[in-house]
Structure 1
Amino acid sequence: MHDINESIKQLISTQYPNIKGLIATRHGEVALEYFASGFSNQTSIHISSVTKSIISMLFGVALEQGHIKNVEQRVLDFFPDYSLKRGEKTLPHLRLKDLLSMTAPYKFRSEPYTRVYSSYDWTLASLDLLGGKGEIGLFKYTTPALHVLSGVLSNATGQKVADYANHQLFAPLGIDPVKNITLSDRQQHLEFTRGTTERGWVADPCGVNAAGWGLVLSTLDLIKLANLYLANGLWDGQRLLSSSWIQQSTSEQSRSGERRYGYLWWLMPHMSNNCYCALGDGGNALFVSPNDGVVVAITSHFMPRPKNRVTLFTEHLLPMLVSKS
């Protein structure tokens, strides 16, 4: 088995050079570890859009605790002071499930990064972009406008998202708390996305944490979070998430062509073993294969157009991990 592990490590170092950390477990036991020089399982790294799936987990916690009744609730129920724009007819009908499944319509064609992240209140800026004349139910992947979900969580729980995550999710898993990170200008944004190691979670000037990106965790943290899903929401005898939420969030809720999506989780294409994953820009990823008891966490420094992590998992990692049993 040593030779198999060494061949995988050689593959990673040569063909996936921006991977800085990888941990694979099977049935909760570490089966493979890889760390680039200068990195360890506790080195923090920006996990990009894998943050979205952590937000999904926090929605599961909030549902379990009764802060949110169900995903059929209207988005505007959580923003009673929001003033609708003249002529806006779609936004009042949007439900939480429309945001979680990326099927809400927006008033833009390309991602409005500057408009949202240069504003003082990212939640308000995102709400202003929701709705319009588009049709509810069509898949439209977005990152900045997803910030509405952080506003929902913050208003529903009465806490900042990072605080809620620290107390209700991270602490029970033995994950060190994260603090708010504030980025004041474009240069700081660029420096952050290109390789921060400052543990925390990006927040807007109002202190509301980003929903679509901005979380800085370690590979070890990620493997714990993924194993919580594999364990159907139980950790050391404590229920953190309902098994029904895990089933809902990792079942098909929307699709675009062959791409299938749950509630802020991607469903693996062309696989019959119910695999699902969280994918982040630059090659950060979480893979969960419940039928095989396999979980893989990958952290990566940003690079444009990295080699496909899904292929790495399906063609190399999963076959190797299953064959070791």
Structure 2
Amino acid sequence: MFEEKIRGLEQKINCEYGNIAGMVVLKNNETLYENYFNGYTPTDTFHVFSVTKSIVSILIGIAIDKGYIKNVDQKVLDFFPDYTIKKGEKTIQTITIKHLLTMTAPYKFRWTPYAKVFSSKDWVKATLDLLGGKKPAGEFRYMEEIGPDILTGILTRATGRPVLDFAQEFLFSPLGITVPSNIILYTSKLHVAFVKKNNASGWVADESGTNTAGWGLTLTAMDMAKIGQLYLKEGKWNGRQIVSSAWVRESTTEHSRWKKEDLPYGYLWWTKIVNGYAAMGNSGNVIYVNPSKKVVVSVAALFQPAAKDIIEFINKEIETIV
């Protein structure tokens, strides 16, 4: 019966979700299903787009656990004492780490100035220049690529070391995840090529060496599943507490809500998604965790504009099997 359901699942993937390249399903810490499509293998890495945000959330939690950051209510500008506040700017002085984590920080632009930020050598500084404005903090505004980089800037300033080095020591290496090096995209053509490339390996950084926070990380499908399993086990991996259980609970609790889509948001994690919570990225890249069933589902997907809803697919096709 199980094999028959799996055949039906894979037929559905091939017919309706053709950009899926890898899928892992864990239940009770065991691999229930793992398969790859479109010629990809277990060792291939994928740009996971906004799933990167949830990884950065974990790193912020680890930095707080270790005392590099006091708490989420610490002001953003505490970490940038050399930043010059423009005359008349008041809102930027009130913005906290929590505002960035919950997508409730205000910005001065209506249309995201991608070219302006990505053509600069320091994306954190360019983003700080856009932070604040006339509106007070508190209203949900989802920032896909520009905005979260301030968090990796904070990590760099707080720990005194590159984000990738910090992540390697305290998150990636303990979980057996390999992210070999930074990827620098010097031109817009390289930027576009990276987004569409399906076998890049590393983590995008600006020319100053600060890693992206909203996109740009590459992982294997099993790497993604490991992150989900870490959260399912409340921050523990092989008996070692990687990030505190308090942070896992807090980061997957609703703190804000995207009213337009009626989607609750934690600390860079989407909460109350079907029967759990999820890290979600463009094109259907997903880490989904169902605590009640002790199930983790990771989907690594190829870039595809307007990809079909993977969460709906997980709910209808995978959760019925497990």
Q: TM-score w.r.t. structure 2 length?
A: 0.97
Amino acid at match of 1:264: L
Q: Where do residues 275-290 of structure 1 align in structure 2 (5 Å cutoff)?
A: 275-290=276-291
What does 1:1-325 correspond to in 2, within 5 Å? 1-142=2-143, 143-257=145-259, 258-269=262-273, 271=274, 273=275, 275-321=276-322
Q: CA deviation at 1:114?
A: 1.1
Give SS of 2:166's match.
helix
Structure 1: distance between partners of 2:227 and 2:192: 27
1:90–1:131: 8 Å Cα contact kept in structure 2?
A: yes
Structure 1, unmatched stretches of 5+, are none
Distance 1:279 1:115 in 2: 26
Is the Cα–Cα contact under 8 Å of residues 100 and 147 in structure 2 kept in the other structure? no
1:218 corresponds to which letter in structure 2? T
Q: Report if the CA contact (8 A) 2:49-2:282 is conserved.
A: yes
Are 2:251 and 2:269, in contact at CA under 8 Å, matched by a contact in 1? Answer: yes
Q: CA deviation at 1:198?
A: 2.4
- Partner amino acid, structure 2, of 1:267: T
1:159: how far off? 1.2
CA contact (8 A) 2:142 2:258 kept: no
Q: Give, in angstroms, the shift of residue 282 of structure 1.
A: 1.3
Rounded Cα–Cα distance in structure 2 between residues aligned with 1:160 and 1:111:
26
Provide Cα deviations, 1:119-171, integer angstroms capped at 9, x if missing partner.
11100000000001112110001121211011001111111111111111000
Corresponding letter in the other structure for 2:116: R
Instruction: Give distance in 1, aligned partners of 2:38 and 2:96.
Output: 46
AA matched with 1:187: K
Q: Is the 8 A contact 2:20 2:301 kept in 1?
A: yes
Distance 2:314 2:200 in 1: 28
Report if aligned partners of 2:179, 2:203 keep a CA contact under 8 Å in 1: no
Q: What is the total number of aligned residue pairs between the two structures?
A: 318
The share of aligned pairs that are identical, in percent, is 43
Kindly provide the CA deviation profile for residues 68-94 of structure 1, in whole angstroms up to 9, marking residues without a partner as x: 111010000111111001110001111
Measure, in 1, the Cα distance between the counterparts of 2:288 and 2:16.
Answer: 19
SS of the aligned residue for 1:291 comes to coil
Task: Give the stretch that moved more between structures: 32-41 or 18-27.
Answer: 32-41
Counterparts of 1:24 and 1:109 in 2: how far apart (Å)?
Answer: 40
Per-residue CA deviations over 1:282-317 (Å, capped at 9, x if unaligned) read: 111110011110101111110110010111111111
Question: Please, which runs of 5 or more residues in structure 2 have no aligned partner?
Answer: none
Offset of 1:256 from its aligned partner? 2.1
Secondary structure of the 2:147 match is helix
Contact 2:127 2:150 in 1 (8 A): yes
State how far apart, in whole Å, the 1-side matches of 2:93 and 2:56 are: 23
Q: Distance in 2 between matches of 1:91 and 1:150?
A: 18
- The whole-number CA distance in structure 2 between the counterparts of 1:268 and 1:16 is 24
Counterpart of 1:265, as a letter, is W
